[in-house]
Amino acid sequence: MVEGKEIIYLNLLGYKISISEVIIVQWAIILICLIFSVMARGILKNVPDKKQSMVEIFVEGINNLVRNTMGEESLEFVPYVGTVVIFLLMMNISGIFGIEPPTRDFSVTTGVAAISFIVIQAYAIRKHGLKDYFLGYARPIGILLPINIMERIMLPVSLSLRLFGNITAAAVIMELIYNGLAKTPLGIGQLVVPIPLHFYFDVFDGGLQMLIFVMLTMINIKIISEH
């Protein structure tokens, strides 16, 4: 596991608390999202301008994504899916700004995966009831009970490891490239060569890993809620 650099230390009631760069970046992303959300509410008009049109295009895109993947009856998940899309995307592409992606820390990806896992199980319980939810582990036949339990347990493990592994691999490759170009005259190589690579490893790969995480979450919500 890659651990973030500890840059702030607090002494609270005799207990030493360290705050890493990973936590600060996440707080910053949450604050940015909050500010933009407040600003987006303030620009709503009957006749949308360019800014409102961009917001509406994004919201409609999330609506269509949820509708096409989970069905019309699952539009209640649009706020959650939209939040995960924005949060993961901003964390994944932070490397393009010279900031270490928080998703390079396994504890971060585990936390996001755990939230999705809880949402999936809670929705299944709400839809079918607690009794039928647990009976679902023995369907279609009781002998599959251990396999079904293992399948549920492996879901957050799979989500977290996939996201962590891909983002970490991309970050390590970029570090190797920068180290390899460090000896170029005046560091010119570091200013030019990594640009297209940043767009691939940070923007494209970061966006792709976000999409895979979101799609797997929605698919599992649909499948498990129909068990």
pLDDT in tens, 102-118: 999 999 999 999 999 99
Q: How far apart are CA 33 and CA 83, in angstroms?
A: 9
> Structure tokens of 139?
């369907």
Model confidence at 6, pLDDT cuts 50, 70, 90, reads low
Chain centre to alpha carbon of residue 141:
35
| The predicted structure's pLDDT at residue 95 | 86
Which whole number is the average pLDDT over 78-91? 94
| The predicted structure's pLDDT at residue 52 | 79
Residue 81 clears pLDDT 90, i.e. is over it: yes
The answer to whether 113 and 107 are in contact (CB under 8 A) is: no
Q: How far is CA 97 from CA 25, 164, 203, 211, in A?
A: 12, 19, 11, 21
Task: Give percent of the chain with pLDDT exceeding 70.
Answer: 89
How big is the chain, counted in residues? 227
pLDDT in tens, 12-47: 666 666 677 888 899 999 999 899 888 877 777 777
Which whole number is the average pLDDT over 83-108? 91
Other CB atoms within a 10 A radius of the CB of residue 187 amount to: 12
Supply the DSSP string of 6-53, one letter for each residue.
EEEEEEETTEEEEEEHHHHHHHHHHHHHHHHHHHHHHT--SS--HHHH
User: H-type helices in 71-128, by residue range?
Assistant: 78-92, 106-128
Residue 187 clears pLDDT 70, i.e. is over it: no
Q: Residue 12 pairs with which residues in a beta bridge?
A: 15
Residue 161: half-sphere exposure toward Cβ, Cα within 13 Å: 5
pLDDT in tens, 54-68: 888 898 999 999 999
| The predicted structure's pLDDT at residue 216 | 93
pLDDT in tens, 127-178: 888 888 888 787 777 787 888 888 888 989 999 999 999 999 998 998 888 8
| The predicted structure's pLDDT at residue 225 | 75
> Structure tokens of 163?
């996201």
Closest CA to 89 of 188, 225, 210, 217: 210
Instruction: Give the type of residue at 36.
Output: F
pTM: 0.85
| The predicted structure's pLDDT at residue 182 | 73
**Peptide bond between residue 140 and the one before it cis (omega within 30 degrees of 0):** yes
Lowest-pLDDT range of 4-8, 88-92, 167-171, 222-226: 4-8
